[in-house]
Homo-oligomer: A and B are copies of this chain.
Amino acid sequence: MIETRDLLFKALSDPTRRALFERLCESGEQSVGALTAPAGISQPAVSKHLAVLRQAGLVQDRQQGRQAYYSARPAALAPLVDWTERMARFWDARFDDLDDVLKRMDQ
């Protein structure tokens, strides 16, 4: 789906969400409370951001008692990597074409 890519870029476009994701990548699984403390925003705001990240597949959650533990799923970044590589490949291909042209001009 192309929509996956859209969800991914949208989810990562907000610095607060990136910070949450970074924290989960760095420090592993965290409860919402643990994530809220250093975030500098309210708990409901954190919950909303986590919901967006989850919808993009970037995090997963696990219920334990009355706490929700979130963890990162960096594999979800794959479509982003694919896209950047594709863009770079287009670029390289066009330079290859240019090389071909130049080689032909040499002859």
Question: What is A's interface to B at a CB cutoff of 8 Å?
Answer: 6, 9-10, 12-13, 15, 18, 21-22, 25-26, 28, 72, 74, 77, 80-81, 84, 87-88, 90-91, 94
Complex contacts, A13 vs chain B, CB 8 Å: 9-10, 12-13
Q: Closest chain B residue to A17 by CB distance?
A: B9
* Inter-subunit contact B91/A87 (CB<8 Å): no
> How many copies of this chain sit in the oligomeric assembly?
2
* Inter-subunit contact B90/A26 (CB<8 Å): yes
Considering the complex of A and B, which 7 residue pairs feature the smallest CB-CB distances, nearest first?
A13-B13, A25-B90, A74-B91, A25-B87, A9-B13, A26-B90, A77-B84
Complex contacts, A74 vs chain B, CB 8 Å: 87-88, 90-91
Some 27 contacts from A to B, beta carbons below 8 A apart, are A6-B15, A9-B9, A9-B12, A9-B13, A9-B18, A10-B13, A12-B13, A13-B13, A21-B87, A22-B87, A22-B90, A25-B87, A25-B91, A26-B90, A28-B94, A72-B87, A72-B91, A74-B87, A74-B88, A74-B90, A74-B91, A77-B84, A77-B88, A80-B80, A80-B84, A81-B81, A81-B84
